[in-house]
Structure 1
Amino acid sequence: MSALMITGGRTLEGTVHVHGAKNSVLPILAASILAPGVSVIENCPPLSDVTASLAILNHLGCRAVQEGERVTVDATTLTRCDVPDGLMREMRSSVIFLGAILGRLGEARLSFPGGCELGPRPIDLHLRAIRALGARVREEGGRLLCDGRLTGGELVLTRPSVGATENAMLAAVAARGTTTITNAAREPEIIDLQGFLRAMGAKVQGAGTSVVTVEGQKLLHGGTYPVMGDRIVAATYLSAAAAAGGVVEVTGADPRHFSTVTAVLSEAGCALAGDRDRVVLSRRGPLRAVRPIHTAPYPGFPTDAQPPVMAALTAARGTTLFVEHIFESRYRHVDELCRMGADIRVEGRVAAVSGVERLHGAPVRADDLRGGAALVVAALAARGESVITGLRHLDRGYSGLEEGLRGLGALVRRTEDRIVT
């Protein structure tokens, strides 16, 4: 059983570079199949979710390989329209392949996706968008059977879903005519997808606003594109520095993309400064509680940053309220934080975090990706040693986390043979 062994209580000092954004690269990999030709995606992190995406691409008949932080996809040989259940279950965002496969081949056969268990995350908006573009969608034996010739039109999302916006964009690129997506998600990752689609020759505009316009059936080709830095990884390192204390510089991500996180850490007593691809956090004194934190679609406070920021505030003076508006089961890390001495009470979607003097090390288990990050943040600030298992979740979204933390002075190592009871 693999585990992270973390001895906490050491302040962090130094610089750490953020890898490419998981939530950008996955839809970009899906988009690479929209046209025959070779695409090169740079700044692509070696994550297990990326490995799963490459397996899907190769199953579909593409030639997809990763060398370091560069992925090359030759979609010329795309022949299949099905993704088997085993590959779909590897990650919840696997449904993003639906729009691209349907757009390229005119049909798609997928099962329902897997991934972290964060409560209901229905794909009804994805299917509604595909249907609005003229596709026929049937559910049969736990599989989605989609076919039809796509035609552009007016799409109005009932909520700004990131995945549904991306799937609609991918399908619309191949549809006849113009598609307007209203109430689109505004996340920076949507802008990144637009950038890659433009590199392929697509005509897309409006990403980053609530209205995205796509002129379909343009002549597409392979494209080369560098993925943006991962804003949630950046927020995790900053949370770790806030929890443990010290001075840490995080490079490779635009602070404007996670300004709501830095605002919370500043309110908690940290000093922050930076520019467009770096931010420096300094924390010398104790943290203090902040005003209630409500997760919300971008540009609101990101739900993915809630767990690590919560972990940082477990030792803040006073009580901080977290209100989770995105996922029903986003507090699965709370029980594990309490094993480390945290004082957290959960009532529905509200978590009240009352600061304690200090956490203590304990054996804990990650049950989802960002919850695992919260346990790492807490362990860095805790007295004594913590043993964190469930690393398959962390490996979905963090590459080289141990090395990055060790570079900041943390005592962190990974072992493959430690059995925790």
Structure 2
Amino acid sequence: MGFTNSPAEFQTCMAFILQDEIPSTANIFIDDLPIRGPATDYPDENGDPEVLHENPGIRRFVWEHANDVHHIMHRVGHAGATFAPSKAQICCPEVVIVGQKCTPEGRLPEPSKVDKILNWPVLKNVHNIRAFMGLCGTVRIWIHNYSKVARPLTQLLHKDAEFEWTPLCQEAFDALKTAVISAPALRPVDYSTDNPVVLSVDSSKYAVGFILSQYDEAGRKRPARYGSIPMSERESRYSQPKLELYGLYRALRAYQLYLTGVKNLEVEVDAKYIKGMLNEPDLQPNATINRWIQGVLLFTFKLIHVPAERHRGPDALSRCPLGEGEEVEEDDDSWLDDTALYAEIRDRQNKWSKPQDRPYEALLSASHADVFISANTKADKVLHQYQKFLTTAAIPELPTQQAKRRFIQGASRYFVRNGKLHQ
């Protein structure tokens, strides 16, 4: 193993050693091993931390964290790895991990980066702008509307632009410094609780803006991530209903990784007609719109209408122009072919109906009916073959022995229970 592959190999080895602890108790970033503390200090009626009954001199949350640290160090030690005592930080109320300051409230920019930005002198040439914007880019996830705020400065980086420090540039320079100071703490989504996770989405002809947040125990909405996707010239000419539906589809796909495992998802939009479009996609037959609806209905969520005056966060992100070096990415919906399957639903009278007859209601009533996979796509046909093989041990006719081995290997990822195929 050479120097090029050594970081990836080390990361793989540590992830294997700590696989039972990731991500609930600890995580690993090459040679950085952060260990999560308890979610609360267990305050009593007076707000004081709870102590152990066996030893009133030890607070409960400290004892639990010490046990987690001991457990993980014991596991790593048995694997043959060692720790550097001079670099270890144990039982700290806040710590800097991979350039982010982690506190009980959430993630904040690293203090050293904040100080450098605040003490940065006035920019005098393009080289200064590139250096300053490069540093600000490391904390942009905390700066609301970053591209729009920094636009007067990024315009000076254009090839034929003449460097002229205008009052507008100074205003943008000061606004970035102020935004870094007042950056909100970002809290990761807690997938173990039933607290609602909210995806707020708004679309305009410029971009689709979305904010992922979650309600905490006190009922406050805490942001987890900010995001936006710029619209292409063709997409910007969509009608407003089509634009809003397309924005919801792109937002759900963009945050698919973070929405997987969420128990209670709520989607906030400021367009009332989206609910009707999802329930009745055939009122205005359009293959493209039905394709987006197919992607949207892959997610389980509660759709909530929020008036425009209370929907300003994602609204601002959706109207943010392109930043320096930002490009429009065309959507490729081929991922739906690998994910979504057609379904035929047989009701209690043993009559067949297609999803296009009752698109939304049929899918919602699936729990009261028998659901069968149809053979309308290539992927569906393969699943039928898997089910037949696992039931009767009959292998379909395949051209080569290698194809048969691949078929058996693919079928081994599934099993049949009560006549239904499961993975």
TM-score bracket relative to the smaller structure: under 0.3
Q: Scaled by the length of structure 1, what TM-score is found? A: 0.23
Q: Which has the higher contact order (CA 8 A, sep 6+)?
A: 1
Higher helix share: 2
Higher strand fraction (1 or 2): 1
Q: What TM-score, normalized by structure 2, do the two folds share? A: 0.23
